[in-house]
Amino acid sequence: MRTETEATDTPPLLIHPVGGGDLGWPPMATSPSPIDFHGGPDDRRPLRKVFDGLTETGTEIGALLLVATTNVHGPSRQPFVEHAQRMRTLLCSTEGLCGRSFPDEHVHTVQVAEPTARHSVEPMKQILTALDPDECILTSGTGSYAIGAGVLLAGIETGKPVTLLPVDATSAAYRLADLIRPHDTLRNWLLRHRFWDELAAADDTNADIWRLLAARQRADISLAEATIAHPGLRAGHLGKLTELWPTVQAAFFERLARGEALDHSLLRTWFTQRISKPTSKENAGVPVSVQRVIEDLAGELGDPEAHGGAARIKEARRRISPVPRARHAALVCDAEFIDFFEKTTPHDAHLAPPEARHRPLPSSLLVNADQWEKSDLVPTLLKERGLTPWPVLGSGDILVLMCVGMAPKNDPGDTEGHAAVRKVIDWASRHRGSLARPGRVRLRLLASDQTMDRAEAWVNLARSTAPAGALDGAVFGPFSTEPDGVTDISTAILADLGKAKPTGRYGSTSLRDVDEVLLVINSGKPVTVNGMIAAGVQWSLEAACPLRVAELGRDRALRSVIREADLTLCRLGVDARIARLASSAVRRLDTRTAWQLLSNASPSLTATRNAAAEFHGDLYGTAPLAMDTDARYALACQRLELIAHALADEPWPACYTAIESLRPGLFNWGPWKLLMQEAPALRSLNRLRNESPYAHLLDKLRDAKRTQPSTKNIRLSKTPPSRDRVVELLHQSATELRALRSAGNHSNERDQDLVARYTRLGEQLDDLGKDAR
């Protein structure tokens, strides 16, 4: 079971879920039969097969753990834990059981309430922690598969290696982790999430392109203006990167799903510019009176002193009738978009937890995103480098993988099977509703020769009951059910999943573009279910998307139920990539992005997620009403020092983040205006923030062009201020705030507490993501 490099001093712990086979009952028995623990030469019990196989491979066993349920289910009139106790007595007797005898202290039993993974995980974690084996061997192909799945998850959570041993093919032992190849998938995650700076650090060959795209995501055209075209970067593409409005659009759509403070401001900026600059074709279909209403609205929204943007849009909408079909006018008149604008543009919107985000995005906004993406240069730039991006706002699709077992003999109409399919579709549809855009449930059922017809019937049922366009179903298989075929099954599933190639834009039918992978653990051949799990984990790594797991079973009334499990399987590769991305996000103070990413990790990262959420609040959170002015000044200094430390090389994000971290969270509008009069460096920082493309640069350029037709007289800069100037202003602003504190609270020393916590959080995430590559 172990290689030489994995050899330990202690022989492994053999874990065996007790099932009907141990009692001499046939598979899928529905009525009780006489109990026979011993069997014979031509009727070997599962443990006899296991012991014989271990003897053949020369594998020693340090101890045996029997897992059994305390409830009464199936054909047994007694809880299986009673059968397990009788087996233990026999195993510890002189005669032994199935050819083996153990010392009393080497045979253990563990009780689980019901034959489900969720009931098995906690008891198994407790006993694995108590016994502390170096390695475990789990029998597979006998007993409840769900209990075995719970053992696997408990092994992952406790860090105990678990080898699966098929009872009918003991020479084909394997580990689930050995079927998954997480290496070389990090680039997919960086590409999907458009972490261009990190790609530049990881890919020297194309670093110049990634840096240009990173600057574009900051709405910064200065790097493109300083770059010279070359064979790998055509002049036309480079020219596009020097245009401010297309650059702001790209920044907006690439960051839209992140929900940072800067992104909410970009929404107002993008919307105002979008309705101010319709295409001539769009404007041709809009009456002059409506054009005036939209122009007036743009002017109001572009006023730095004006507030209540959503109310102004509502008033404009009231004055427009009928609604023109032009995309920019449709935005103004879309109640769904106005609601989205109202909820996401307040200064504290980004403090809401990730699960509170507005999903799906308004359809009128998605139409504009699709229009922009059709002409975006990223797919072409990546194609020239042999790469394909993901749609900027995802596909809205969810991949569901599920095995199809044999129908029970006492259910000829497959009533329970049909109910189970409906439960799965309902669960997947709920998850789909949390994505950025509407999409489809991509149902893929895995079948053997014996279950192909049942699987096809399930797919037809799903198609007939789902709303039009909401479901795409297919059957993969037939797969062999031979116990030594898990690698072949996993490989075949991955090949089927990868048949349709992605295009890099929305509308692709490729399963690589799905936004989530959902695995349904249900009864079936262990070799098929384990092959599905391995393929599902691998596909989530390839598709760079969240992985979720649910267990399909029955309640006490024997009705089909589906219960979502935790994200333990993410520890097989997904966690490290999430941690790596979260580390990058924290380092550039995209703290809500880190918080959001970590929400899709396993429980082992929960503490880190909570730390990221707390850090986000420390950077942006609203001060308690009881906090006095001196304490507010002190916290403001900490935030400014952190921004100077973390964003020294990103002048515009630094200016914007600095002001957003101070007002209105620490200083409401009235006190803020007074503060502007007393702190000249902070006043300069505020002016630079207002002249950034996230705030009012486009508004000011538009106004200047309208009042000064000769653009040569316009003094506004389309590029960010110098790094040194912004860092100096940040430090000077902190000095001004320290000077404003009461006489007894004066301090000339920089408060580095937030900087220290920022460093610790980054290091913690780096350590968690160190294996990602």
Name the packing angle between helices 261-276 and 335-344 (round to 10°): 140
Per residue, the 3-state secondary structure of 605-634, as one string, reads HHHHHHHHHHHHHHHHCCCCCCCCHHHHHH
**CATH code for the structural domain at 393-565:** 3.40.50
Query: Residue 249 in contact with residue 369, Cβ under 8 Å?
Result: no
The structure tokens 């855009």 sit at 437
The structure tokens 């800067």 sit at 262
The structure tokens 């009705």 sit at 559
pLDDT in tens, 688-732: 999 999 999 999 999 888 877 555 555 689 999 999 999 999 999
pLDDT in tens, 616-643: 999 999 999 999 999 999 999 999 999 9
Q: Which helix (H) or strand (E) holds 312?
A: helix 309-319
Q: What DSSP line would sit under 34-54, residue for residue?
A: ---SS-BTTB--HHHHHHHHH
Opening angle at CA 403, ends 399 and 404, nearest 5 = 125
Name the packing angle between helices 629-646 and 753-768 (round to 10°): 50
As a whole number, mean pLDDT of residues 517-524 equals 90
pLDDT of residue 744: 59
Give the span between the Cα atoms of 230 and 243, in whole angstroms. 19
SS3 of 517, please? Answer: strand
As a whole number, mean pLDDT of residues 136-164 equals 94
pLDDT in tens, 653-679: 999 999 999 999 999 999 999 999 999
The structure tokens 């070997």 sit at 44
> How crowded is residue 60: how many other Cβ atoms within 10 Å of its Cβ?
11
Q: What DSSP line would sit under 438-457, residue for residue?
A: ---EEEEEE--TTTHHHHHH
pLDDT of residue 714: 56
Cα dihedral 329→331→335→336 (10° resolution): 160
Query: Residue 117 in contact with residue 146, Cβ under 8 Å?
Result: yes
Query: Residue 179 in contact with residue 534, Cβ under 8 Å?
Result: yes
pLDDT in tens, 281-316: 999 989 999 999 999 999 999 988 888 899 999 999
pLDDT in tens, 471-514: 999 999 999 999 999 999 999 999 999 999 999 999 889 999 99
As a whole number, mean pLDDT of residues 184-200 equals 97
pLDDT in tens, 572-601: 999 999 999 999 999 999 999 999 999 999
Contacts of residue 714, Cβ cutoff 8 Å, sequence gap at least 6: 701, 704, 705, 708
Same CATH fold assignment for domains 4-173 and 393-565: yes
pLDDT of residue 4: 39
Q: What is the topology classification, in CATH, of domain 4-173? A: Rossmann fold (3.40.50)
Query: Residue 275 in contact with residue 297, Cβ under 8 Å?
Result: yes
Give the mean pLDDT of the chain. 93
As a whole number, mean pLDDT of residues 153-168 equals 96
Name the packing angle between helices 680-690 and 651-662 (round to 10°): 120
Share of residues in the chain with pLDDT > 70 (%) = 96
Burial 363-383 (b: 16+ CB within 10 A, else e): ebbbebbbebbeebbbbebbe
Give the span between the Cα atoms of 733 and 641, in whole angstroms. 9
Give the span between the Cα atoms of 280 and 283, in whole angstroms. 5
pLDDT of residue 591: 97
For residue 248, pLDDT beyond 90: yes
More confident residue, 410 or 231: 231
Domains of the chain: which residue ranges?
4-173, 243-381, 393-565, 622-709+717-741
Could you tell me the CA-to-CA distances from 253 to 127, 301, 341 in Å, in that order? 49, 20, 15
Could you tell me the CA-to-CA distances from 720 to 221, 402, 578, 689 in Å, in that order? 9, 52, 31, 10
For residue 32, pLDDT beyond 80: no
Order of strands, edge to edge, in the sheet holding 398-403? 471-476, 441-446, 398-403, 516-521, 547-554, 560-564
For residue 342, pLDDT beyond 90: yes
pLDDT in tens, 721-767: 999 999 999 999 999 999 998 765 666 667 889 999 999 999 999 99
Query: Residue 90 in contact with residue 81, Cβ under 8 Å?
Result: no
pLDDT of residue 512: 97
pLDDT of residue 2: 45
pLDDT of residue 746: 62
Amino acid sitting at position 708: Q
User: Is the alpha carbon torsion for 294, 295, 300, 303 positive or negative?
Assistant: positive
For residue 7, pLDDT beyond 60: no
Query: Residue 328 in contact with residue 290, Cβ under 8 Å?
Result: no
Could you tell me the CA-to-CA distances from 90 to 38, 41, 48, 132 in Å, in that order? 10, 18, 13, 25
Q: What does pTM read for this prediction?
A: 0.94
- Retrieve residue 96's tokens: 């032994």
pLDDT of residue 749: 66
SS3 of 236, please? Answer: helix
For residue 8, pLDDT beyond 90: no
Share of residues in the chain with pLDDT > 90 (%) = 84
pLDDT of residue 712: 53
pLDDT in tens, 199-217: 999 999 999 999 999 999 9
- Please compute, for residue 320, the number of CA atoms within 13 A of its CA located in the half-sphere on the CB side: 29
Give the span between the Cα atoms of 688 and 692, in whole angstroms. 6
As a whole number, mean pLDDT of residues 402-420 equals 90
- Closest by CA to 198, choosing from 190, 186, 206, is 190
N-to-C CA span, the chain: 28
SS3 of 516, please? Answer: strand
CB-count burial class (<10 Å; 0-12, 13-18, 19+) for 688? buried
As a whole number, mean pLDDT of residues 227-255 equals 96
Q: What DSSP line would sit under 250-285, residue for residue?
A: HHHHHHTTT--HHHHHHHHHHHHHHHHS--HHHHHT
